Structure 1
Amino acid sequence: MLTNPLLQSNPMSQDLLTQIYNAFDPFQPLDAEKDQDLYVDFEKARGNAKVERDLGRKIERSQNKPLAQLYAGHRGTGKSTELLRLKKYLEERKCHVVYFAADEGDIDPEDAQYTDILIACTRHLLENLKQADRRIFLPWLEARWQDLIDLALTEIKFDDLKLEIGAKANSSVSELFAKLSTSIRAIPSERQKIREKLNAHTVTLLQTLQAFIADAKKKLPDGKEQLVVIVDNLDRIVPIRRADGRTNHEEIFIDRAEQLRGLGCHVIYTMPIAISIAYSRANDLANLYELEPSILTVIATNTPDGQPYTEGRQRLQDLIVKRVHRHAPDAKLFPDVFESESVLLRLCEMSGGHVRDLLRLVRTAFDAIDELPLTKEAVDRAITGTRDTYRRSVEEEKEWQVLAKVSRDKSLSGEATIYRKLLFSRCILQYAFLGANEHGEVDLQIWYDVHPLVRGVKQFDDAVKSIVMETQQISESNVPLDKIQIYGNNENVYVNIQEIKHPLLSADAELINVMDEAEKLYAQMIDAENYLEASLIARDIHQMYERVADSLKMKQDSDEYAEAIQWSSYWKIRQQTNERRIRSN
């Protein structure tokens, strides 16, 4: 057996392999200073997303009004890396930034509430803003002192605390809030007790924190003019559905929006991606926070119509190359590190453009080899193992059906609670692509697709076959073309356009007439093989049904909402079909 020349020339070959292996830690964000050589700019492949512009510039230009901004995205897309870069960017522009990852010592993502977040913010501001007067909290603490004793969080007598002066008093206040936050995170049995004691007093705690922040802003370090708080990793909060059908996500980010906005300084919260797109009140976020949430999508490896997207794929390869060359700058990528280019390309493709999954796949593949290069067999083993993780995250047959429809339609439809879960588990990924629309104009296109690792799972393949068979049954039957299949309660029901449309849109007779004329014109364009006009008409009808669905979002469990979603998907498919006809001609 031939020995890899890279390892043969290096007596510390195993050390080198270990160094490269550790360069692909999937849970370690890049340091904005030390890891600048590893950073890859994915802006174009993420729909022109750039954190310095999308979040930072608003802070720079809003000096007289504190902003609360939401930053959403799938877990593992690189939000922490981007926020650490934003921290550096803002610090270079006269901002004092308090950054903390909330799940590393403050909240339990499996069971988090607003109170936990408020305590965490208080703790880190107290620890960071050392020039500010922590004794501002003494009146609030005095009113809660017996509760703190009952919770065994202090043995200090309050009169003793009041007598402490200077740094010692400040330290004691800071330590108390650190104990509160740590207990909420680490001691599940105490978590609810603490909440019960404090929930009724969050308003007065927020008011006290506001006073502390106001004092701190007057005493910022030399040269700093604005205070910014960045609360990371709240996107990891697991969705929990309550008895009334609502979730903890809604309770935190929607019901408590006023409090989250109310710190009195600029603040950025990360947020689960599902809440920005998959909740009935998602559209309220822009009004509640006075700004649209910024979303960091996964990296587009294909265009919306399924064609390879060179920019995204090349940037993913750059990510791998930079991490390898930090430790082996003279290595030839092929065949020293990777057996062939196809092995590297397969890793990028199967990651779906999800950064953490790419790092995880590479690292898991390294586990299967004793020496370089990384082989196809090792990569296949990593893919198989990671695919099984995704398979186990899908628990019900109807979830596989939703995945199959998303794969077909490139949009979200059906039961909202299902695709919230599938978005959180990353079985469904959101993409953004800045490309030319049908008019040749640059346009931001947002779409959804299943994770590539899901595609090889038998249950998914069976669900796809089921949908294909149903479609074939329609085309082979005598059902008129103005009827389509509506999926509901696992029954195949064929509904005439007039039968479904009039009940759905009965409140707007003018819109009904517009739909009638548009559909007649669409049929004429198809007969005339004018596929460009047909695609434009289909797009307009799709958007009209989307607006109807939006108006019914408060009734997501209703038949009308489900029908509007299905009709919207139907016309989206017609639009895409005609666009493919145009390209093929």
Structure 2
Amino acid sequence: MEFERLQELYNRCNPDEPLSPGDARNVDIDQRGVRGAHWTNKLARQIELSRTPVCQLFTGLRGTGKSTEIQRLAERLSDPKRRNLLTVLIDADDVLDLTVEIDISDVLALILQHTERAVLAAEGGDAADALTDGPLGRLWAWLSRTDVEIGKFTAGVDVGSKAGVAGAKAGLDLNLKTNPTVRQRVREIVAKHLSTFVRFVHDELRELEWRARKLGRAGVVILFDSLEKLRGTSLTWKPVLESAERIFSSGAPYLQLPVHVLYTIPPALARRMVEPVSFLPMIKVRDVEGRLHPEGVEVIAELVRKRIDEAALEEIFGKAALRDRIRAIALWSGGYPREIVRLLQTLLELEAFPVDGKTLERELYRAGNAYRSIVYDSGAIPWLATVNRTKRLITSNDQEREAADHLLQNNVILRYLNDDEWVDLHPSVAGMQELAGPAPDAKDAAVESGA
């Protein structure tokens, strides 16, 4: 294969690149019923039907297509022929440091900022230059009146002038992400005046929704994506997760707004919540009894062909073995889309094609080493063996709860949906001798498929 062609295919298989619904590589997975529901419909219906503001929580492992579903949801809710809402889409990755603890003030200040910008844009104004007497300007003025010292942290900006207020507003999200001093100061102010702050944000959002309605919209809906990526570092993941639990648990009372809102949350939090959390499951390649689910394998084959055309696939895997090679990849992945794309990229790094069965088996095993290392480090092998056997995520003590959080966040435990929800271990882990589980390991999956 020519180098330029190989390079093109390699970059088409970037596992960290989220796809828009209109991307030619995107597969509408839910048309085939392999994730237990049509997820755009599931998320949209409550918002479409409710006459009062809805607060929804949504999660899923990174790389399962969650952001694509949220973009589909935004398109549907903003459709003038349907709900006709002004949609505010916020990507936490762009505006927050997701390696540190999160606070109510971070989320609400950013919601106010982005909603103001969306309304201004809809009105024909400049969304990048929010009005000095707008909601965010009033928020900054309130913070400055409450603590005069905070203005000093906006370097070179006179917050008493119109230009200064505009400059402070324009940089607020940047400061919250990159300036821990400003972030901490804002948090301290809000903590002392939480009720006043929340009431202020709600009043401003009501005004912004009124302005959206004047434009002919049915209201405002806020979609706050990528908060599920809150994970900290190897040393801070636990306090970061606990900070998210503090603001999202017990019905997220301070995050319920006078407009419709959907938040993504870390997957590990879903099992701790009393209120419903929509959890985007994996593509089902096996059922809860371990039986093959052909429809799921077919969807994965379609996903592969959207990334790499048929002629290139035949060159990479060999025409006669192509079907079996894709099947082996599907079974090894556990139906995890990002793993499939990541593995394709890894295989494209090889120097010799076609990839034979032994080479594929070796690469599958190597890719599984990262998961097995996480299991060994967790110190929870006996409990994980129970999960492997029962397909249920049941914890009875703090050690097991901590292990569940860690293994969910690191994709060792995968979630599925049939008529009922169930979990399974990543196939590269399920076959470990220490777990004595019935699921096949990578080698068995390759052999079973004829690789």
The bucket for the TM-score relative to the shorter chain is 0.7 to 0.9
Counterpart for residue 22 of structure 1 = 11
Instruction: Report the 3-state secondary structure (helix = DSSP H, G, I; strand = E; otherwise coil) of the residue aligned with 2:434.
Output: helix
Check whether the contact 2:86–2:217 (CA below 8 A) recurs between aligned residues.
yes
Counterpart for residue 111 of structure 2 = 121
Structure 1 CA distance, aligned partners of 2:192 and 2:282?
A: 40
Matches within 5 A, 1:209-220: 209-220=201-212
1:358 Cα deviation from its structure 2 partner: 1.1
Select the structure with the greater relative contact order (CA < 8 A; seq sep ≥ 6): 2
Q: Which runs of 5+ in 1 are unaligned?
A: 1-6, 8-12, 162-167, 286-291, 326-330, 434-443, 466-585
Matches within 5 A, 1:408-557: 408-414=389-395, 415-433=400-418, 444-455=419-430, 460-464=432-436
Check whether the contact 1:96–1:226 (CA below 8 A) recurs between aligned residues.
yes
Check whether the contact 1:24–1:362 (CA below 8 A) recurs between aligned residues.
yes
CA RMSD of aligned residues (A): 2.8
Q: Which residue, out of 31, 35, 41, partners 2:20?
A: 31
1:205 Cα deviation from its structure 2 partner: 3.1
Q: Which residue, out of 163, 172, 177, partners 1:180?
A: 172
Q: Write the letter of the residue equivalent to 2:282.
A: V
Matches within 5 A, 1:61-76: 61-62=49-50, 64-76=51-63
Structure 1 CA distance, aligned partners of 2:54 and 2:287?
A: 34
Decide whether aligned partners of structure 1 residues 242 and 91 sit closer, same or farther in structure 2, where only a CA change above 3 A counts: closer
Q: Which residue, out of 51, 57, 64, partners 2:45?
A: 57
Instruction: Report the 3-state secondary structure (helix = DSSP H, G, I; strand = E; otherwise coil) of the residue aligned with 2:346.
Output: helix
Counterpart for residue 197 of structure 2 = 205
Structure 1 CA distance, aligned partners of 2:70 and 2:264?
A: 10
Check whether the contact 1:46–1:296 (CA below 8 A) recurs between aligned residues.
no
Instruction: Report the 3-state secondary structure (helix = DSSP H, G, I; strand = E; otherwise coil) of the residue aligned with 2:161.
Output: helix
Decide whether aligned partners of structure 1 residues 110 and 301 sit closer, same or farther in structure 2, where only a CA change above 3 A counts: farther
Counterpart for residue 80 of structure 1 = 67
Q: Which residue, out of 258, 281, 290, partners 1:297?
A: 281
Q: Write the letter of the residue equivalent to 2:314.
A: P
Counterpart for residue 142 of structure 2 = 140
What do the CA deviations read for 1:459-518 (whole angstroms, capped 9, x no partner)?
A: x422428xxxxxxxxxxxxxxxxxxxxxxxxxxxxxxxxxxxxxxxxxxxxxxxxxxxxx
Q: Write the letter of the residue equivalent to 1:272.
A: P
Q: Write the letter of the residue equivalent to 2:20.
A: D
Structure 1 CA distance, aligned partners of 2:11 and 2:326?
A: 18
Structure 2 CA distance, aligned partners of 1:265 and 1:313?
A: 40
Check whether the contact 2:19–2:25 (CA below 8 A) recurs between aligned residues.
no
Q: Quick check: 65-74 or 124-133, which moved more? A: 124-133
1:410 Cα deviation from its structure 2 partner: 1.2
Check whether the contact 2:92–2:224 (CA below 8 A) recurs between aligned residues.
yes
Check whether the contact 1:107–1:117 (CA below 8 A) recurs between aligned residues.
no
Instruction: Report the 3-state secondary structure (helix = DSSP H, G, I; strand = E; otherwise coil) of the residue aligned with 1:71.
Output: strand
1:191 Cα deviation from its structure 2 partner: 4.2
What do the CA deviations read for 1:332-367 (whole angstroms, capped 9, x no partner)?
A: 366324232222111111111111111111111111
What do the CA deviations read for 1:123-155 (whole angstroms, capped 9, x no partner)?
A: 3223322148653443524414623224x2254
What do the CA deviations read for 1:158-204 (whole angstroms, capped 9, x no partner)?
A: 4423xxxxxx68xx44x424533323322446543442244324433
Q: Which runs of 5+ in 2 are unaligned?
A: 124-129, 438-451
Structure 2 CA distance, aligned partners of 1:98 and 1:293?
A: 21
Counterpart for residue 96 of structure 1 = 86
Instruction: Report the 3-state secondary structure (helix = DSSP H, G, I; strand = E; otherwise coil) of the residue aligned with 1:176.
Output: helix
Q: Write the letter of the residue equivalent to 2:91.
A: A
Structure 1 CA distance, aligned partners of 2:246 and 2:207?
A: 30
Check whether the contact 1:227–1:265 (CA below 8 A) recurs between aligned residues.
yes
Decide whether aligned partners of structure 1 residues 242 and 219 sit closer, same or farther in structure 2, where only a CA change above 3 A counts: closer
Q: Write the letter of the residue equivalent to 1:146.
A: V
Decide whether aligned partners of structure 1 residues 68 and 304 sit closer, same or farther in structure 2, where only a CA change above 3 A counts: same
What do the CA deviations read for 1:83-119 (whole angstroms, capped 9, x no partner)?
A: 1111111121312111121022323244323322222
Check whether the contact 1:394–1:400 (CA below 8 A) recurs between aligned residues.
yes
Structure 2 CA distance, aligned partners of 1:256 and 1:300?
A: 30
Q: Which residue, out of 307, 323, 329, partners 1:347?
A: 329
Q: Which residue, out of 258, 267, 271, partners 1:273?
A: 267
1:47 Cα deviation from its structure 2 partner: 4.3
Structure 2 CA distance, aligned partners of 1:373 and 1:32?
A: 32
Q: Specify the structure having the higher radius of gyration (Cα).
A: 1
Check whether the contact 1:366–1:378 (CA below 8 A) recurs between aligned residues.
no
What do the CA deviations read for 1:354-400 (whole angstroms, capped 9, x no partner)?
A: 11111111111111236x54554554454233222213323546422
Structure 2 CA distance, aligned partners of 1:448 and 1:197?
A: 42
